[in-house]
Structure 1
Amino acid sequence: MADERTLPTVADTEELGRELAADLTAGDLVILDGPLGAGKTALTRGIAAGLGVQGRVSSPTFIIARQHRAGTHPGAVALVHVDAYRLGGDLDELDALDLDTDLEDAVVVIEWGLGVAEHLTDRHLRVRLHRAADSDVRTATWEWVAAV
């Protein structure tokens, strides 16, 4: 059963990301789904903050994937942030990123990954974001999904 939350502000979206990060460890895959402007990158910023990664998190749209090293405090976990939008569902291009290797040492978050990245792990956290028309209010639903 999926959890759901209304996110009135970007700060609320980032806070949800921090909360989700508390249950993530190296090897976990997070697939983000939602239209442009739904808050996928804001959620990833929150996940990164919760994991304790180094550096600023921004959309990897033009470089496809960004790696963020784990911070220096105990329990910090590295993050690989992928934007699969430009891959257009091309599984060969996704496989060329060698994300299964990254999954050994990092949490991998893939924006626009629904329908393309599920095969990378036995289970993944699927987060769907929706933005209300003419509003900044977002709704997030999330659940762990086993591979089929």
Structure 2
Amino acid sequence: MKADFPERGSRMCPSAEDTARLGRELGAALEAGDVVILDGPLGAGKTTMTQGIAAGMGVRGRVTSPTFIIAREHKPLGEGPSLIHVDAYRLLGEGSVGDPLGQLDALDLDAQLSEAVVVAEWGGGVVESIASRYLVVRLDRESLAGQDPDSQARLISWEMVGC
């Protein structure tokens, strides 16, 4: 990750647009080999954040949740890495079958890291196995909704983990 994006921080994002904007900032700083794990409950904004990351990286294709295919690759429009968008919920969640690490290994993401950025929704507990250093982004919508049930705000924090 480029040095212009802090390795640790937090930001209050009052709207989905603000979440996407933070994603664009992060996406512009990502480099091939980077792994980003998006952590948060259903509806927290993980796909919105990924859409912003994709815009910041300048990749092709409409970014939607890859829930039914587990991973989707978005090639760069110009120079730069591809984005591999993973939905690890299918590997870990209710109804998952088999060994999640084995299923992740079958995707061969670690072999693609030299040319791609991996962004994994629901990736905690699995995706860490493909990189010794990764960014964990936590999207918390529940805390602010507890204060104001009509709020669309999210508290987003991030931290680089590993060496």
Task: Tell me which protein shows more helix as a share of its residues.
Answer: 2
Question: Does the CA contact (< 8 Å) of 2:31 and 2:80 recur in 1?
Answer: no
Question: Does residue 1:87 correspond to 2:91, yes or no?
Answer: yes
Note the aligned Cα RMSD (angstroms).
1.4
Give TM-score scaled by structure 1 length. Answer: 0.93
Counterpart residue number, 1:18: 24
Number of residue pairs aligned between Structure 1 and Structure 2:
145
Alignment of 1:1-148 (within 5 A): 2-72=8-78, 75-88=79-92, 90-131=100-141, 132-133=144-145, 134=149, 135-146=151-162
How far 1:86 moved relative to its partner? 1.0
Q: Which amino acid letter does the alignment assign opposite residue 34 of structure 2?
A: D
Unaligned runs of 5+ in 1: none
Name the CA distance, whole Å, in 2 between partners of 1:28 and 1:2. 15
Unaligned runs of 5+ in 2: 1-6, 94-99
Q: Give 4+ residue runs of structure 1 displaced > 4 Å after superposition.
A: none
Give TM-score scaled by structure 2 length. Answer: 0.84
How far 1:53 moved relative to its partner? 0.1
Larger of the two Rg values belongs to structure: 2
Q: After superposition, give the CA deviation of every residue in 1:83-133 in whole Å (9 maximum; x if it has no partner).
A: 000111711111111110121111000000011111211200110001133
